[in-house]
Structure formats: C-alpha cells, structure tokens
Amino acid sequence: MTSLTLSAPAKINLFLDITGRRPDGYHTISGIMQAISLCDTVTLTLTPVADGEDPRYTLTCTNPELPTDGKNLAFRAAVAFFEATGTGNTHLHMHIEKRIPAAAGMAGGSTNAAAVLKGLNALMDHPLTQEALCRVGLTLGADVPFCVKGGAQITEGVGEILTPCASLPPCHLVVACAGEGVSTPAAYKKLDEMYGSFDGTVYTPRSDMLASQLEALKKGDIGRAGEYAYNIFESAVLPTHSKAGYIKRTLEDGGAVWAMMSGSGPSVFGVFADEDAARATVDSLRNQDIPAWVCEPMGI
Ligand code: ATP
C-alpha cells in the first residue's frame, strides 16, 4: 500500500473579464487567478491488484452533499489520468477532507481534480509533464490547468492559456460565503442576456484595467491592485444574491482595503493589511452564521 496526501488550494479571481465567445459557445476570459491558503486535503492510497482481480477506484469525502461516484471531479481526474498514461492497474482510494465551500466560485472541484492528477503523477514516477497534466486537466474543467500550476497566473482563452504573474503581496484575506451556490453556466447565461452574447456590440473588455492591476501587483501595491480589481460576474450575481452584497459591505466596513466577489460567486473575499481587523471581521461574520475564514495568498 502506498499513500500520498496533498493540499488542494482554493483560488480567487483578482480580475475576471469576458473577451468574447468562441463558435462552440464557450466564453473566452481575461483575468488573474490567485491561489490561496484555504485548502482541501486529498489523500490517495494505492493497493496492488491481486491476480484475477479488477482494479477498484473509490472515493470518500467529508462533505456529504458532494457526489462520491464518477460525478466527482476528483474521480473523473483519476480515470482521465489512467487513460492518458495506461497506469490504471491498481486499486485507488481517494479521500477528500473538504474545507472549500462548493459551488462558490473558488474552484473547489477543480482543485481536487488537479491534486489527484499531480498526486497520481508523483506516485507513478512522473509519466506526464506539467503541461501534459494541464492538457488532461482541461478536459475536466476550465479551471483545472490553473489549479495544476497554482500561484498567480494571467488566465486567457477559456482558462487554459496561463502566464505566471506577481502574486498579491503578503496580506490577510477574508473569504466568506453564504446562501445558495451559483451555477456557473447560469451566471454566464445571465451575462449573455446583459451584454448581447459578447458579440462585440454591447460590451468592451477592460484590458487597460487588467494591465494597470498587473502593474500594481508587480509593485506590491495592495491598494492600487484594488482600484483596478474587476469581476464582470458581480453585475449578474450581486443584484440577486443580497447576502453576497451584504458580505462585501461587511468586509469593507471591517477594514478591508478592497473586497470583491470571486469567480461566478457567491463567495466574496476582502484584502486586509491588518490581521486583527481581518480576524475581527471573520468573528463578526461567523456570529451571523456566515461561514468565513482568514487565509493568505499562496505563491508557487
Ligand atoms: P469554479 O470557481 O471553478 O467555477 P466553483 O467553486 O463554482 O468552481 P465547485 O466547487 O468546483 O464550483 O463545484 C461545482 C459543482 O461541481 C458542484 O455542484 C459539485 O456538486 C460538483 N463537484 C464535483 N466534484 C466536486 C468536488 N470534488 N468538490 C466540489 N464540488 C464538486
């Protein structure tokens, strides 16, 4: 029996814009993703297959609301890895200790899939390069390649074109999430209705703002990075998710230098320079039964 335990970090979007739509209907994006220290833990255990036995892949998860069969992205990642490498003649048990809220815009499923890809690659003595892992990851979801690479990355295409960039400088992040999860496809549909399906007539992507935010990150200037922070999904989600708007205001009132929704929401993060203010804001949110955590940006 061989086991490996990996951290699977969540992500936040420091910038998220839509640049258009491909003929196949997928939206192309332009933005910055940042890995954070709020993590799930994924443990992989391999057991040899005895003569005449078929390999068994099983999964357990501490969040009873998530699927444990082939619908779980971690499970699908294992199958995709074994298909790509021909190394599936082993029993595999995956256990996910879940801390990242599901369907919250923090890539909870994608980061579990990336951890399985990286973990199996390590256990099998690295048959795939990091780029090949990203290619397999992209067949599972647009955020998986980022989760394979981590750190801070400029994200383009449907999420598969990644360029490393400066991380948020050391700071304290408060991440909070309340209410119904947001379906990412439903959020894209709402944006299509608002912005003419991104055919170039109604909406102009904010590429200058992205360049300015990258510059601010390079200089380590948290405040200026906030001046240029943008998430197009806020315009579709905040009007109907009053709790996300309330959390954003609470983070700002609690002393965040800036706050924004992550991905398609409804999770919201606040960037704090002061740790005490961050901790006090988490206490205040938790006292209102709103799940909240203090964490930090993670480099590569
Ligand atoms: P993203 O930010 O990449 O759009 P998200 O945070 O909005 O992702 P996830 O947490 O990845 O969304 O979950 C989306 C859906 O995927 C959920 O409805 C959930 O049932 C399903 N899912 C499958 N596997 C997992 C997993 N291992 N962890 C979390 N969700 C999973």
CATH number of the domain enclosing 208: 3.30.70.890
Same domain, 128 and 226: no
Is the residue at 284 inside a domain?
A: yes
118 part of a folded domain = yes
Task: Please report, for residues 55, 98, 124, 243, 269, the alpha-carbon distance to residue 180 in angstroms, rounded to integers and kept in the order given.
Answer: 38, 18, 39, 9, 17
- Domain assignment of residue 198, given as a range: 172-295
Residue 283: CB atoms within 10 A of its CB come to 12
| Domain assignment present for 232 | yes
User: Within this chain, do residues 261 and 223 fall inside the same structural domain, yes or no?
Assistant: yes
Element spanning 206, H or E: none
What integer pLDDT is reported at residue 229 of this predicted model? 98
Regarding the beta carbon of 107 and ligand 1, being less than 6 Å apart is answered yes
Instruction: Please state, in angstroms and rounded to a whole number, the distance separating the CA atoms of residues 140 and 210.
Output: 27
H helical segments located in 73-221: 73-85, 108-123, 130-138, 144-149, 184-194, 207-219
Q: Do 206 and 59 reside in the same domain of the chain?
A: no
* Centre of ligand 1 from the C-alpha of residue 278, in Å: 26
**Domain endpoint, select from 164, 186, 219:** 164
On whether both 191 and 285 belong to a single domain, the answer is yes
The number of C-alpha atoms within 13 Å of 65 and in the hemisphere containing its C-beta is 8
pLDDT for 178: 84
Same-domain pairing of 160 and 187? no
In residues, how long is the chain? 300
What does each of the 300 residues of the chain score in pLDDT, given as a tens digit? 899 999 999 999 999 999 999 989 899 999 999 999 999 999 999 999 999 999 999 999 999 999 999 999 999 999 999 999 999 999 999 999 999 999 899 999 999 999 999 999 999 999 999 999 999 999 999 999 999 999 999 999 999 999 999 999 999 999 999 888 888 899 999 999 999 999 889 999 999 999 999 999 999 999 999 999 999 999 999 999 999 999 999 999 999 999 999 999 999 999 999 999 999 999 999 999 999 999 999 987
Total structural domains within the chain: 2
CB 36 within 8 A of CB 296: yes
What distance in angstroms lies between residue 96's CA and the mean position of ligand 1's atoms? 13
The answer to whether the CB of 219 falls within 8 A of the CB of 237 is no
**Final residue belonging to a domain, choices 135, 164, 193:** 164
φ/ψ (deg, to 5) at 64 = -65, -10
204 and 55 share a domain? no
Query: In ligand 1, which atom is closest to the CA atom of 103?
Result: 12
The structure tokens 């590569």 sit at: 300
Full strand arrangement of the beta sheet holding 172-176? 258-261, 268-272, 172-176, 292-295
CATH number at residue 43: 3.30.230.10
Among 117, 138, 164, which residue terminates a domain? Answer: 164
Q: Is the CB of 40 under 6 A from ligand 1?
A: no
Answer yes or no: is the C-beta of 43 below 6 A from any ligand 1 atom. Answer: no
Considering the domain architecture, whether residues 25 and 143 belong to the same structural domain is answered as: yes
Same domain, residue pair 12 and 158: yes
Is 271 domain-assigned? yes
Which residues are within 8 A (CB) of 129 and not within 5 positions of it... i.e. 6 or more apart? none
112 Cα–ligand 1 center, Å: 9
Residues annotated as catalytic are 11, 143
Question: Do 281 and 190 share a structural domain?
Answer: yes
Q: In sequence order, which residues have a C-beta less than 8 Å from that of residue 196 and are 6 or more positions away?
A: 202, 203
Residues 133 and 249 in one domain: no
Query: Residue 212 domain-assigned?
Result: yes
Site of tokens 């993590």: 39
The answer to whether the beta carbons of residues 206 and 191 sit under 8 Å apart is no
Amino acid at the residue 267: S
Q: 0.85 cut: is pTM over it?
A: yes
Instruction: Tell me if residue 62 falls in helix, strand or coil.
Output: coil
CA distances from 105 to 62, 96, 114, 211, 276 (A): 20, 18, 16, 23, 26
* Same-domain pairing of 41 and 155: yes
Count of Cβ atoms closer than 10 Å to residue 39 Cβ: 19
- CB neighbours of residue 220 within 10 Å: 14
Same domain, 153 and 279: no
* Residue type (1 letter), 287: N
**From the CB of 105, is ligand 1 less than 6 Å away?**
yes
- Identify whether 24 is part of a domain: yes
Cis amide leading into 266 (omega within 30):
yes
| Cβ atoms of residues 31 and 17 within 8 Å | yes
- The SS3 call for residue 95 is strand
Structural domain contains residue 133: yes
Q: How many CB atoms lie within 10 A of CB 22?
A: 10
Position 300 in a domain:
no
State the closest ligand 1 atom to the C-alpha of 74, by its place in the atom list counted from 1.
Answer: 27
The residue whose CB lies within 8 Å of the most ligand 1 atoms, and thus the one to mutate among 33, 59, 62, 66, is 66
Q: Given its phi and psi angles, is residue 196 left (phi above 0), alpha (psi -120 to 50 degrees) or beta? A: left
